[in-house]
Amino acid sequence: MISNTMAAALNEQIALEAHASSLYLSMSSWCEQEGLTGCAQFMRRQSEEEREHMLRIFDYVNERNAHALTPATHQPKHKFESVQKMFEEVYAHEKKVTAAIMKLVEQCYKEPDHTTLLFLQWYVEEQREEEALMSTLMDKIKLIGTGGQSLYYIDKEVERLNATEMAAEAEGAE
C-alpha cells in the first residue's frame, strides 16, 4: 500500500507521461506533414515510449492497492516554428519529466517509501538516457546548422539515430 500523497504524486506523473506521449505524437504528425519522415518516425517511437512509461506507473499504482487515474487529455500543440525549435521543446520537456521524477524520489525519502523508491530507479536511469539522447541530438542539429539543405541532413541524422536506438533496444531484448 502506498500513501495517498504518493498515489496523488504518481497520478500526476501518469498525466505528465500521457501528455508527453500525446505531444510527441503531434510532433510526429507535424514532421510527416513537413516531409521529415525520419523525424516523424523518431517522434512516433518517442510517443510510444512515453505511453509505455505512463502504463508502467499506472500498473504500479494499481498493484500497490491505490487507484491509478486515467489522465484527462487536451489538444497538444500541433504547429511548430521549425524542426530545430521542436527538438528544443522536446529537450525542455524531457528535463521537466526528469525534475518530476526527482521530486517523486524526494517524496519517497520523505515518507519513507522504499518500494516506490526502487520502482522509480528505472525512471531515473531512463531519464538520464533520454536527456543524453536529446542533448546529442541538439548538438548534431546545431552542427548541421540552418543552411539550405539543413532540413534534409537533420532528417537523415535523426533517422540514423532512431535506427541505432531501435537496434540497441532489439539487442537488449535478446
Task: Enumerate the domain spans of the chain.
Answer: 4-173
148-168: pLDDT as tens digits: 788 888 888 889 888 888 888
What's the rounded Cα separation, in Å, for the pair 105 and 33?
Answer: 39
Instruction: Select from 1.20.1260.10, 2.40.40.20, 3.40.228.10, 1.10.40.50 the CATH code of 4-173.
Output: 1.20.1260.10
Residue labelled with grid coordinates 530507479: 121
- The answer to pTM > 0.75 is yes
47-69: pLDDT as tens digits: 999 999 999 999 999 999 999 99
